């Protein structure tokens, strides 16, 4: 079966087509500036040069239309007819408490996603628009929703309930949801595969360290805790996000700077993290370069970031009574040799020993701990699209066979 994976933003759309028998990527692309002057689609049939087309696209339906044209194109296409696409998998950020796994999209599912707009006002509306556009243009193709929050739905209440008046949970569903679930699930499953063990017998700590960053504790195959919370602002320090801070800081800044609470939260989302502390960049490469050249705030930002990841690893080691494996993934986790070393430094008493020679690797699956490290440390490149496609194919096959 061929699966089309769609990840819709407000003015952009990423897509991939995968052949599921071989898990092979056939084509991928990006549509930018949807609904804005200068709309453009960049399509790539794997093994061929990219093909760029500037064409007006007033909405997501226009964008999906051009994606389908590109997939059917005689030169750059990967299918002869749309019937060859067996299913579409949609990345959706928030499914609230409703879904603990991926689901076939029905009217009820769409209603549930609409209800979650309150919880993810920036992300769910474009995700929903993408689904509706595909339904319009591919009315007979089954669609599956794969949710960033789903993998974390197994957390017990003691992990997801905040210690605030309980009625806020009852009235407004304020709780920890967690995000990046598709990535945490993918790398946790891969880690079990790499170790040749059943995931149900493992205690895994997954560290998704990119521009956005989160850690998760995965015990016996299910997530028991994660660092992002009610929103993706909580937890680790990120490119431009503060991660967890004392909430009283918000009202303090509000009064001192004479701005409203939304403006403070916007600062915590967009002007904090590595950017805020370093004053140089949100990109770890820039911050590390400047630190090497003697910039002390950049050096401090790096230490704060590494320290926060270490704290979450420590917390999860305590919660799971140890771990079998720690996995690093995403932009920083996969490429930043120095950061992995810094995070894992001085944890030998906890059974974590990184091997500087083995750790000298980027972007490929590798064991980076020493042979005698009790906890294995792995680098596993994430592949959220493949995870979405796998879930999609599995659900559609199941429905067909019923
Ligand atoms: P996201 O998907 O959250 O936008 P990514 O997982 O693609 O982010 O990670 C992007 C980040 O990875 C960049 O901002 C950069 O800081 C970091 N990164 C990429 N390559 C390297 C590298 N070689 N060394 C250090 N950091 C890197």
Question: What pLDDT was estimated at residue 122?
Answer: 85
CA nearest to 308, candidates 236, 376, 238: 236
pLDDT in tens, 293-350: 999 999 999 999 999 999 999 999 999 999 999 999 999 999 999 999 999 999 999 9
DSSP state letter for 123: T
Does one domain contain both 138 and 204? no
Residue 379 within a domain: yes
pLDDT at 402: 83
Tell whether 253 is covered by a domain.
no
> Do 309 and 207 meet the contact criterion of CB atoms below 8 Å apart?
yes
Inside any domain, residue 302:
yes
Residues with pLDDT less than 70, the chain: none
| Residue nearest atom 23 of ligand 1, based on CA coordinates | 335
Instruction: State the total domains in the chain.
Output: 2
- Distance CA(27)–CA(44), nearest Å, equals 6
Q: Is residue 191 part of a domain?
A: no
Judge whether 319 lies within some domain.
Answer: yes
Return the residue whose CA atom lies nearest to atom 24 of ligand 1. 336
- Residue 293 in any domain: the answer is yes
Residues 141 and 205 in one domain: no
Residue having the nearest C-alpha atom to atom 1 of ligand 1: 211
Task: Report how far residue 342's alpha carbon sits from residue 138's, in angstroms, rounded to the nearest whole number.
Answer: 49
C-beta 212 within 6 A of ligand 1: yes
Task: Establish whether residue 210 lines the binding site of ligand 1, counting it when its CB lies within 6 angstroms of any ligand atom.
Answer: yes
Separation of 246 CA from ligand 1 center, angstroms? 27
Question: Would you call 43 helix, strand, or coil by DSSP?
Answer: strand
- Of 87, 118, 147, which residue sits at a domain end? 147
Burial of 389 from C-beta contacts in 10 A (0-12 / 13-18 / 19+):
buried
Q: Domain containing 129 — which CATH number? A: 3.30.420.40
Same domain, 307 and 370: yes
**Same-domain status, 13 and 88:** yes
Is the minimum distance from the CB of 232 to ligand 1 under 6 angstroms?
Answer: no
User: How many residues appear in the chain?
Assistant: 402
Domain match, 131 and 8 both: yes
What's the confidence (pLDDT) of residue 302? 98
Assess whether 16 and 141 both reside in one domain: yes
Q: Please check whether residue 238 is in contact with residue 213, taking contact to mean a CB–CB distance below 8 angstroms.
A: yes
Q: Is 362 exposed, middle or buried (0-12, 13-18, 19+ CB in 10 A)?
A: exposed
- Domain extent, residue 216, equals 198-242+271-384
Q: Give the distance (Å) from ligand 1 centre to CA of residue 288.
A: 12
Q: φ and ψ at 328, to 5 degrees?
A: -105, 135
Q: Of 144, 59, 146, nearest to 101 (Cα)?
A: 146
Ligand 1 lined by 335 (C-beta under 6 Å):
yes
228 and 132 within one domain: no
Distance of CA 342 to the CA centre of its chain: 23
Report the chain's mean pLDDT, rounded to a whole number.
Answer: 97
**Cα–ligand 1 centroid distance for 212 (angstroms):** 9
* Residue 87 shares a structural domain with residue 227: no
Using the mean position of ligand 1's atoms as its centre, give its distance from the Cα of residue 384 in Å: 15
Residue bearing the CA closest to ligand 1, atom 3: 211
Same-domain check for residues 236 and 131: no
Residues marked active site are found at 148
Domain assignment present for 396: no
Q: Among the atoms of ligand 1, which is closest to the Cα of residue 284? A: 16
> Contacts by 43-47 with C-beta closer than 8 Å and gap 24+?
43/67, 43/70, 43/73, 43/76, 44/76, 45/76, 45/77, 45/78
The atom number, within ligand 1, closest to the CA of 339 reads 25
Identify the domain boundary among 107, 130, 147: 147
| Same domain assignment for residues 107 and 212 | no
Pairing of strands 51-54, 40-45: antiparallel
Residues 130 and 217 occupy one common structural domain: no
Kindly give the distance from the C-alpha atom of residue 330 to the centroid of ligand 1, in angstroms, as a whole number. 7
Q: Residues 221, 284: one domain?
A: yes
The answer as to whether 400 is a domain residue is no
């Amino acid at each position: 079966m061929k699966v089309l994976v769609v990840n819709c933003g407000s003015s952009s759309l990423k897509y991939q087509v995968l052949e599921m028998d071989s898990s092979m990527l056939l084509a991928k692309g990006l549509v930018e500036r949807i609904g804005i002057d200068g709309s453009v689609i960049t399509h790539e049939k794997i093994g061929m040069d990219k093909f760029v087309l500037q064409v007006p696209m007033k909405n997501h339906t226009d964008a999906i239309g051009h994606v389908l044209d590109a997939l059917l194109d005689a030169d750059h296409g990967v299918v002869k007819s749309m019937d060859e696409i067996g299913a579409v998998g949609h990345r959706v950020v928030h499914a609230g408490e409703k879904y603990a796994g991926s689901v076939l999209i029905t009217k009820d599912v769409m209603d549930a996603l609409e209800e979650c707009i309150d919880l993810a006002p920036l992300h769910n509306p474009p995700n929903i628009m993408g689904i509706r556009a595909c339904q319009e243009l591919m009315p007979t193709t089954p669609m599956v929703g794969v949710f960033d929050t789903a993998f974390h739905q197994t957390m017990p209440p003691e992990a997801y309930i905040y210690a605030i008046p309980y009625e806020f949970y009852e009235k407004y569903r304020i709780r920890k949801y967690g995000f990046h679930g598709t990535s945490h699930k993918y790398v946790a499953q891969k880690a079990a595969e790499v170790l040749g063990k059943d995931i149900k017998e493992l205690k895994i700590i997954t560290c998704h360290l990119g521009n956005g960053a989160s850690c998760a504790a995965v015990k016996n195959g299910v997530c028991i805790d994660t660092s992002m919370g009610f929103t993706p602002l909580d937890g680790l320090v990120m490119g431009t996000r503060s991660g967890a801070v004392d909430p009283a800081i918000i009202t303090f800044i509000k009064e001192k700077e004479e701005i409203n609470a939304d403006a403070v939260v916007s600062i915590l989302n967009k002007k904090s993290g590595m950017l805020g502390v370093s004053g140089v960049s949100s990109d770890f490469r820039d911050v590390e370069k400047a630190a090497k050249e003697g910039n002390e705030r950049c050096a401090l930002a790096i230490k704060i970031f590494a320290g926060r990841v270490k704290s979450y690893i420590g917390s999860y080691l305590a919660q799971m009574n140890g771990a079998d494996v720690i996995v690093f993934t995403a932009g920083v986790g996969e490429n930043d040799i120095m950061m992995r070393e810094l995070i894992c430094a001085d944890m030998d008493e906890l059974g974590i020993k990184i091997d500087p020679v083995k750790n000298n690797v980027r972007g490929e699956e590798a064991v980076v701990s020493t042979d005698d490290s009790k906890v294995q440390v792995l680098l596993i490149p994430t592949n959220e699209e493949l995870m979405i496609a796998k879930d999609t194919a599995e659900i559609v096959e199941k429905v067909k066979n019923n």
